[in-house]
Structure 1
Amino acid sequence: MATGATEMAYKNYCVVFIIFALVIVQAVGYDTELYETKPCDSNACFDELHGSLGDCSCNVDTIDYFNNVKIYPRLQSLVRKDYFRFYKVNLKKECPFWADDSKCAMRFCHIKTCSKESVPGYENGYENEHIDESPATKYSKEAQSNCNSDTDHDHDLGYLNMTISAASQHEIAKWKAYDDALENFCGYDDKDVDAEYVDLLLNPERYTGYKGPSANRIWRSIYQENCFRPKPNPYESFPFVLTSDLGNMCLEKRVFYRAVSGLHSSINIHLCSKYLLYEKGAGFTSDGEWGPNLEEFQRRFDPSQTFGEGPNWLKNLYFVYLLEMRALAKAGPYFETEEYYTGNPTEDEETREAIHNMLSVIYTFPDHFNESSMFNGGSQAAKLKVEFREHFRNISRIMDCVGCDKCKLWGKLQTQGLGTALKILFSSRWNSPESDPNQGKLPVRHRSHERLQRTEIVALFNAFSRLSESIRQLEQFRVMLSSQKEGAQKQSLFRTIQDMK
């Protein structure tokens, strides 16, 4: 009897074990099926990079031609102008989210800052050109004109009390800060005590060797904690939203994710196209040799290395390119009236002409992104817009957690550039019911009182230039992949002929 009971218990144990094993196999099989991709192919990164982008009427091929032939050469010339070369930024801000002292020790991570005196036009009011006057400032004693000098003025009859208490001035300043927060998608640190000027041409964006847990935590935090998600992602090592799940998100949330993903793709392409191939010396300026690294590009974007998502990430690059180009078009007349002052009249005039020329080309693009289809729907849409802005503001703060100064510089600049574009597209101050008859359907008129800070303008144009260069670099990688495939075919044919002899 005891033996029979033992056998029965053993059988039950086996059944439970088999069921458990089947569940595990099924789960693993599901995971494998979900991420199953074709073996690595030399052109796999570009096989799907054609046709419609989704969420807009434009397609990849139209952008390729428009950017590479018309926009890219103009932008490259423009951002080398003194006005766009110098960017003021605070790289000493502490990370607000976690304690992290994992600073990059490689010399390629460091940057050279500029003295204020070396910035063209600084001594003649370079910084003060776009400083918004606080509402409280106009009531200060210094701001009042001396009416007593007017012989026709009777002080007793015409007296108007223009004083305002210090406490009230403080409250008014808080009102302005609140109003600005409702419109801005990024924080600004160019007025900080620790903010310094950086010459972007002397500190180009490229591979620095910054990687590992510290770098991975930046993007994981962005995707898992600050991007809208249709559902929790069970794959800890893969924090991205699967393209198959994007259809379960509303347009606004898809736009947010695709913009962030496109920015990430662009940064990755910059690192792959200017990769440290080898070092020549040990100086601070690093006599290294930078160039395109095809293997690194494939590692980051090939479908077999990215669970099939790589080509979609590249499409998101085109998507955020459209987003920023639309912002430039919408605020075009504003940019065409800016002075771009540096103290050099000849260069300032050349800069204005270059801006006018590039914008005239941008106006001709046939399929601009249509932001008017977003955030429509009453209180729910207004609430979503606040979430949208707060999520992006968090991302701009995360850039202060980057442990490599050069990576932080370009991360903050490109994030502020995208934030400025979002501000233009989705801030009510930039909306107008009228359209410009000379520029078709683009509602480009802005309210006369709206101004952008100099750092916003510098960040937006440089960020758009970075996206433009990324799209241009894709063509280089496409050619390299085709050459690699052609070389492999020739070697295979050669071996076949040798075997036949």
Structure 2
Amino acid sequence: MLAAFAALVLAASPFSPFDVLPSGPLADTQCNLETVEAANEHQLHTLLAELSTAPFFRLINVNMDGKCQYWGGPEEEEHVCVSKAEDTAEPLCTLGTDNSASDPFGAAATGGGGSPFSSSMSPPREQSSVPTDPVDVTITPEEHAYVGTIAEDCNDETLPSFWLDMCSAIPTNASDYVNLQLNEESYTGYNGSHVWAAIYNENCLVRTGSDQNICLEERVLYRLLSGMHAATNTHVARFYHPPSKRKNRTDWEPDLAYFARQFDGHPERLKNLHFAFVVLLRAVRRASPFLSTLKEVGGMMDATALVRRFLDTAILKSCSAVFEAFDEGLLFREEQASWWSLKKQFKGVFHNVSRVIDCVSCQKCRLHAKVTMLGYGTALKLLLLPPELFPTSVSRDEVAALFNTLHKFSSAITHVKELTELRYARYYAADG
């Protein structure tokens, strides 16, 4: 009842004891925040939540064993996970495991199929871990030359294939799949401030001349990273206190003080959350012909139907204001000197930030950061590559990461409103 009353007050009252939800035009897009909120609340969040439960999307392969290239040893040990579930000795950073997810898209699960993408995925892994035959690694001079051209295509910014390797710094070659529903994003006690500082420090594109204003490309990259930060903090605030029999908590409960510390006085953080959501939606819209042809995986029901439902023309039309709000055609239009490539800098910064994630010692935090960066990388590929390259350049795990990242941001937008209304409810309950 209090929450419902607070929602009415939030919508009608000009007075605020603290910052309210940001509103108005969303910079670098062609929509406003209210339009994004309405589309998410009325249609998109429900569809994305349903998508996230399908095995195709909740099971993801991300290599969690990358070595930190920026620091190591004692410095990182100062930031280890310190929080434990109150009724157990298990650290909240620990990944939940599901033995059934060891190879859900391999031969056993798919009847020998494996990949829902005909030529964009590697063959399914063998069920036996013991090699029965040595691998012949011989390649001809012609084949060696072909491999070299692939690398060159990703290094030449004048070629359409330049963006093919956006996700290369987040490999998906782990031996096991992770069930994201067993590892939902929540408070772990991990202090990642040093990692976020490194991420923001990596976001710097060198400019020439006296223009002090950052370019659109750098602004977009910064706002994506800030949006990721805001989404993470929102999930932590919403799922802060774990279930506890001792404290009579049957579910995760929020921490409004943490939420206030992250966002009071910083409306731009929530605006960047909405901006990132719009960029992701635009990527899905641009790739909708490709995504709608997603092949069903044997034994993994509903993936194709759910994606097609999300991409239904009626939904794309009714929510066109957000699906079409970001214009990727405005990126990389400036002429650069031959020694200074904005495209190379942009991709290099994105790869560096992706590698910083390997410095996160909390396994659950690392998982969610990697999935988000993989989702971002996939979105950027879909925005910047020619559509004819999609079928051979986008993997199953990249598509799964893209939709999981969309769901993460959609949920965060919903939680922001929920937590703000709860703050109002408690404020007015205490006041009167």
Normalised by the length of structure 1, the TM-score is 0.68
Whole-angstrom distance in 2 between the partners of 1:415 and 1:337: 24
Deviates more, 1:372-381 or 1:90-99: 372-381
Whole-angstrom distance in 1 between the partners of 2:113 and 2:264: 46
Deviation at 1:166, TM superposition (A): 3.9
User: If each structure's helix is expressed as a fraction of its own residues, which one has the higher value?
Assistant: 1
Is 1:364 the equivalent of 2:328? no
Is 1:44 the equivalent of 2:19? yes
Deviation at 1:254, TM superposition (A): 1.1
Is 1:187 the equivalent of 2:168? yes
Deviation at 1:292, TM superposition (A): 1.5
**In the TM superposition, what whole-angstrom CA distance separates every residue of 1:18-44 from its partner, at most 9, and x where no partner exists?**
xxxxxxxxxxxxxxxxxxxxxxx6431
Deviation at 1:128, TM superposition (A): 4.0
**In the TM superposition, what whole-angstrom CA distance separates every residue of 1:396-423 from its partner, at most 9, and x where no partner exists?**
1111110100000000001110111111
Deviation at 1:474, TM superposition (A): 1.2
Partner of 2:28: 55
Partner of 1:311: 267
Selected match of 1:474 from 411, 416, 420: 416
SS in structure 2 at match of 1:375:
coil
Q: Partner amino acid for 1:271? A: V
8 A contact 1:89–1:189 mirrored in 2: yes
Is 1:374 the equivalent of 2:326? no
Whole-angstrom distance in 1 between the partners of 2:390 and 2:244: 52
Whole-angstrom distance in 2 between the partners of 1:474 and 1:62: 16
For the pair shown, which has the larger CA radius of gyration, 1 or 2?
Answer: 1
Q: How does 1:74-473 map to 2 (within 5 A)?
A: 74-100=47-73, 102=77, 103-104=80-81, 106=84, 107-115=91-99, 118-123=102-107, 124=110, 125=112, 127-130=114-117, 132=120, 166-180=140-154, 182-183=162-163, 184-187=165-168, 190=171, 192=173, 194-211=174-191, 215-228=192-205, 248-277=213-242, 279-280=244-245, 289-303=251-265, 310-344=266-300, 347=301, 350-360=302-312, 361-367=315-321, 368=324, 369-380=326-337, 383-427=341-385, 429-430=386-387, 446-447=388-389, 450-473=392-415
8 A contact 2:103–2:176 mirrored in 1: no
Alpha-carbon spacing, 1:52–1:414, altered in 2? closer, same or farther (3 Å): same
8 A contact 1:42–1:484 mirrored in 2: no
Q: Partner amino acid for 2:262? A: R
8 A contact 2:116–2:294 mirrored in 1: no
Alpha-carbon spacing, 1:126–1:275, altered in 2? closer, same or farther (3 Å): farther
Alpha-carbon spacing, 1:380–1:337, altered in 2? closer, same or farther (3 Å): farther
Deviation at 1:186, TM superposition (A): 2.3
- Figure out how many residues of one structure are paired with residues of the other and give that number: 371
Deviation at 1:279, TM superposition (A): 4.1
Deviation at 1:114, TM superposition (A): 4.3
Partner of 2:4: none
Q: Partner amino acid for 1:300? A: Q
8 A contact 1:206–1:275 mirrored in 2: yes
Identity of aligned residues (%): 30
Deviates more, 1:97-106 or 1:258-267: 97-106
Deviation at 1:225, TM superposition (A): 2.8
Partner of 1:142: none
Q: Partner amino acid for 2:257? A: E
Alpha-carbon spacing, 1:299–1:359, altered in 2? closer, same or farther (3 Å): same
Calculate the aligned-residue CA RMSD, in Å. Answer: 2.9
Whole-angstrom distance in 2 between the partners of 1:342 and 1:380: 51
**Runs of 5+ unmatched residues, structure 2:** 1-15, 85-90, 123-137, 156-161
8 A contact 1:120–1:342 mirrored in 2: no
8 A contact 1:116–1:197 mirrored in 2: no
Normalised by the length of structure 2, the TM-score is 0.78
Q: Partner amino acid for 1:292? A: P
8 A contact 1:43–1:478 mirrored in 2: no
